[in-house]
Amino acid sequence: MAFLSKKDRALILDPLADNNPITVQVLGICSALAITAQLKASIVMGISVIGVLSVGNVVISLIRNIIPSKIRIIVQLIVVAALVIMVDQILKAYSYELSKQLSVFIGLIITNCIIMGRFEAFALGNGPWRSFLDGIGNAAGYALILVIVGFFRELLGSGTLLGHQVLGDPIAKTGLYAIGYENNGFMLLSPMALIIVGIIIWVQRARTPKLIEEN
205 near other proteins, rule: CB under 8 A:
no
Q: How far is the CB of 37 from other proteins (least distance, A)?
A: 3
List C-alpha distances in Å: 206 to 25, 193, 209, 210, 212. 17, 20, 6, 9, 9
Q: Which of the ranges 46-54, 109-117, 131-139, 150-158 carries the binding residues for other proteins, by CB under 8 A?
A: 150-158
Distance, in Å, from the CA atom of 56 to the CA atom of 119, rounded to the nearest integer, reads: 8
Distance, in Å, from the CA atom of 73 to the CA atom of 155, rounded to the nearest integer, reads: 39
Distance, in Å, from the CA atom of 143 to the CA atom of 124, rounded to the nearest integer, reads: 23
Distance, in Å, from the CA atom of 144 to the CA atom of 52, rounded to the nearest integer, reads: 16
Is there a contact between 45 and 31 (Cβ–Cβ < 8 Å)?
A: yes
Q: How far is the CB of 165 from other proteins (least distance, A)?
A: 9
182 near other proteins, rule: CB under 8 A:
no
89 near other proteins, rule: CB under 8 A:
yes
73 near other proteins, rule: CB under 8 A:
no
Q: How far is the CB of 120 from other proteins (least distance, A)?
A: 16
Other beta carbons less than 10 A from residue 186's beta carbon: 12
Q: How far is the CB of 119 from other proteins (least distance, A)?
A: 15
Q: Which of the ranges 13-21, 49-57, 79-87, 205-213 carries the binding residues for other proteins, by CB under 8 A?
A: 79-87
Helix (H, G, I), strand (E, B) or coil at 164: strand
179 near other proteins, rule: CB under 8 A:
no
- Under the rule (CB under 8 A), what is the footprint of other proteins? 34-35, 37-38, 41, 65-71, 74-75, 78, 82, 85-86, 89-90, 92-94, 96, 100, 103-104, 107, 153-154, 157-158, 163, 171, 185, 188-189
